[in-house]
């Protein structure tokens, strides 16, 4: 392998690699706005300039190919002054918007301005005024004054989705992004341009002005909108789900996620969430109960159950929950099944028709998929889409684990609150058979949710005196022992008994 020297370190490169690629791969930070590893380099923002020893001028590292014996300095006086000059140019027309800009706290212009820029402006000419609050489709708002013309959003629509909804228009300080497609996106992935935009020029209508970044907490987890299992970061604040953004995983979703997945969290913040266990009294009225009282009432209801001894689970239930449900069903003399929605919106990118986030895991554990109404003594329901009213109400269940109180059928005697995907930790198997970890996001949803798998294990212990309730690690170990999982890799860190995040 040929080598290049960066900041005195000899680093190998593949022919065709650029200086910034080799620097980033080796943990050397090089400022950048218009560069993204997934797209062709344009070299238009000039912030990534570095010095090549012996060369008269600094070069843009995102376009400069590596060469044998090239010696690069990213922090020399020449490189630093080149970047400072670029910053000064970028800020000539940029509005002093940080106090009201939604990007503040995660804005690369703000960060580099602080690190590299001048403290004061030398420009005395008035700033150029350009359109603000321009709708780009239904979910995105464009502010042309904040735009630094990096063209990442345009290239995303041209090179990644190949739908071409955006273009650069005009020249010089009037240059701006425009929609070429009558104001609508045809792609299901438009909101990735909000994540890509290095400044606050593109904001999400769903999230803008909801919260300052520094008041939020962030949890790495998974989207459960379909069985792709895109890796995401959940942002929450004070018990509320605020937003979801894609997290890079080259084996699953690269850097992206779809718009329906990103916006499909309505049930998490629902006003009708079931927050505590509830037991019906002799008059059929719901009474709040402690988890201990509810367990006693639920085991009595299950011992009395006549219609069925089965458990019907949502196709998004975790492996731990499925394993606990199998034991519960077995203690009742029945079996566990699952239900999951299927769509017709699959594309060749990320979205798949299978909407059960763990349908594959359920099938690998031998659970049958239920399509029509059938009796079940226990229901586990998170999404209406997976367990629609016909299946839910047609089960005649006496015990239910539900995310939303409106999903409790009339037949149910004892209802347990069930965490949404944003409040549960556990393992899911995606459509390609990859086991990934769903992590409960701290401060999201009603607090004090007892994990459903633990409650089911306790119930099993009540019904079968020989059953010793298992913890999460033991449930995972039981799944690993299944033949279908013999060759499957599990995520590192899911050790015996380990739980991750609040409410897990």
Residues that bind ligand FES (CB under 6 A): 32-35, 43-48, 60, 62
Cα 298 from chain centre? 34
Tokens (6 digits) for 112? 């580099």
**Residue labelled with tokens 């379909």:** 226
Count of residues touching ligand SF4 (by CB under 6 A): 26
Any contact of residue 148 with ligand SF4 (CB under 6 A)? yes
57-86 residues in contact with ligand SF4 (CB under 6 A) are none
Here's the x/- map for ligand SF4, 196-225, by CB under 6 A: it reads as: xx-x-xx--------------------x-x
Using H for helix, E for strand and C for coil, what is the string for 413-445?
Answer: CEEEECCCCCCCCEEEECCCCCEEEECCCCCEC
Q: Quick one: what does residue 151 bind among ligand FES, ligand SF4, none, with the CB cut-off 5 to 8 Å set by partner type?
A: ligand SF4
109 interface partner picked from ligand FES, ligand SF4, none, CB below 5 to 8 A per type: none
Q: 6: closest CA among 58, 52, 63? A: 52
> Least distance (Å) from ligand FES to the CB of residue 63?
7
Site membership for ligand SF4, residue 87 (CB under 6 A): no
Parallel, antiparallel, or unpaired for β 399-402 and 414-417? parallel
* Residue among 19, 116, 258, 341 that touches ligand SF4 (CB under 6 A): 258
Asked if 90 interacts with ligand SF4 (CB under 6 A), we say no
Question: Residue 35's binding partner, choosing from ligand SF4, ligand FES, none, with beta-carbon cut-off 5 to 8 A by kind?
Answer: ligand FES
**Does 478 contact ligand SF4 by CB under 6 A?**
no
For ligand SF4, the closer CB: 33 or 453:
33
By DSSP bridging, strand 378-381 and strand 311-314 are parallel
Task: Report the b/e string of 226-261 with b at 16+ CB within 10 A.
Answer: bbbbbbbebbbbeeebbbbbbbebeebbbbbbbbeb
Among ligand FES, ligand SF4, none, partner that 149 touches (CB below 5 to 8 angstroms by kind)? ligand SF4
CA distance 321 to 318: 5
| 431 part of the interface to ligand SF4, by CB under 6 A | no
Residue 360 as a binder of ligand SF4 (CB under 6 A): the answer is: no
Task: Pick one of ligand SF4, ligand FES, none as the site partner of residue 226 (Cβ within 5 to 8 A by kind).
Answer: ligand SF4
CB of 176 to ligand SF4, least distance (A): 8
* Both structure tokens of 278: 């509830």
CA distances from 12 to 16, 40, 64 (A): 12, 22, 15
Pairing state of beta strands 311-314 and 336-339? Answer: parallel
DSSP conformation letters of 4-54: EEETTEEEE--TT-BHHHHHHHTT-----SS--TTS-----S-TTEEEETT
Plot region of 39 (φ>0 → left; ψ -120 to 50 → alpha; else → beta) = beta
CB of 191 to ligand FES, least distance (A): 22
Query: Site for ligand SF4 (CB under 6 A): which residue of 30, 49, 90, 226?
Result: 226
Among 261, 396, 419, 451, binds ligand SF4 (CB under 6 A): 261
CB distance 128 to 173 below 8 Å: yes
Nearest to ligand FES of 75, 345 (CB atom): 75
Could you tell me which stretch among 23-31, 65-73, 258-266, 378-386 binds ligand SF4 (CB under 6 A)?
258-266
Query: Interface residues with ligand SF4 (CB under 6 A)?
Result: 147-153, 177, 196-197, 199, 201-202, 223, 225-226, 228-230, 253, 257-258, 260-261, 350-351
């Amino acid at each position: 392998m040929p080598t290049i020297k960066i900041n005195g370190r000899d680093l190998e490169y593949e022919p065709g690699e650029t200086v910034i690629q080799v620097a980033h791969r080796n943990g050397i930070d090089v400022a950048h706005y218009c560069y993204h590893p997934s797209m062709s380099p344009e070299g238009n923002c000039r912030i990534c300039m570095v010095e090549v020893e012996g060369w008269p001028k600094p070069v843009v590292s995102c376009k400069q190919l590596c060469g044998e014996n090239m010696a690069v300095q990213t922090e020399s006086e020449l490189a630093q002054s080149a970047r400072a000059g670029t910053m000064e140019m970028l800020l000539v027309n940029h509005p002093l918007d940080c106090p009201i800009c939604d990007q503040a706290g995660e804005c690369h212009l703000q960060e580099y301005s602080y690190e590299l820029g001048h403290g004061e402006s030398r420009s005395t000419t008035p700033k150029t005024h350009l359109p603000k609050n321009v709708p780009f489709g239904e979910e995105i708002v464009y502010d042309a004054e904040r735009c630094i013309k990096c063209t990442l959003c345009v290239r995303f629509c041209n090179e990644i989705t190949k739908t071409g909804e955006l273009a650069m228009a005009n020249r010089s300080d009037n240059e701006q992004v425009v929609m070429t497609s009558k104001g609508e996106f045809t792609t299901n992935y438009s909101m990735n341009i909000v994540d890509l935009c290095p400044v606050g020029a593109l904001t999400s209508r769903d999230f803008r002005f909801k919260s300052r970044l520094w008041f939020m907490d962030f949890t790495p987890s998974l989207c459960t909108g379909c069985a792709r299992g895109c890796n995401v970061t959940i942002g929450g604040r004070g018990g509320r789900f605020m937003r979801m953004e894609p997290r890079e995983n080259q084996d699953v979703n690269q850097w992206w996620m779809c718009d329906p997945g990103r916006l499909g969290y309505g049930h998490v913040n629902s006003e009708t969430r079931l927050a505590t266990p509830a037991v019906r009294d002799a008059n059929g009225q719901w009474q709040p109960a402690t988890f201990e009282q509810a367990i006693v009432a639920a085991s009595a209801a299950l011992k009395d159950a006549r219609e069925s001894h089965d458990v019907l689970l949502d196709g998004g239930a975790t492996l731990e929950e499925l394993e606990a449900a199998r034991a519960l069903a077995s203690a009742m003399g029945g079996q566990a099944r699952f239900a999951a929605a299927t769509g017709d919106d699959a594309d060749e990118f990320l979205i798949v028709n299978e909407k059960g986030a763990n349908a594959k895991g359920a099938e690998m554990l031998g659970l049958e998929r239920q399509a029509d109404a059938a009796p079940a003594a226990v229901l586990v329901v998170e999404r209406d889409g997976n367990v629609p009213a016909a299946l839910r109400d047609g089960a005649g269940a006496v015990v239910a684990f539900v995310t939303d109180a409106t999903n409790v059928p009339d037949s149910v005697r004892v209802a347990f609150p069930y965490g949404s995907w944003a409040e549960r930790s556990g393992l899911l198997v995606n459509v390609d058979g990859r086991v990934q970890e769903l992590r409960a996001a701290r401060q999201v949803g009603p607090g004090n949710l007892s994990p459903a798998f633990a409650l089911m294990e306790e119930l099993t212990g009540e019904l079968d005196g020989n059953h010793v309730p298992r913890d999460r690690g033991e449930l995972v170990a039981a799944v690993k022992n299944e033949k279908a999982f013999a060759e499957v890799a599990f995520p590192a860190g899911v050790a015996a008994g380990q739980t991750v995040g609040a409410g897990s």
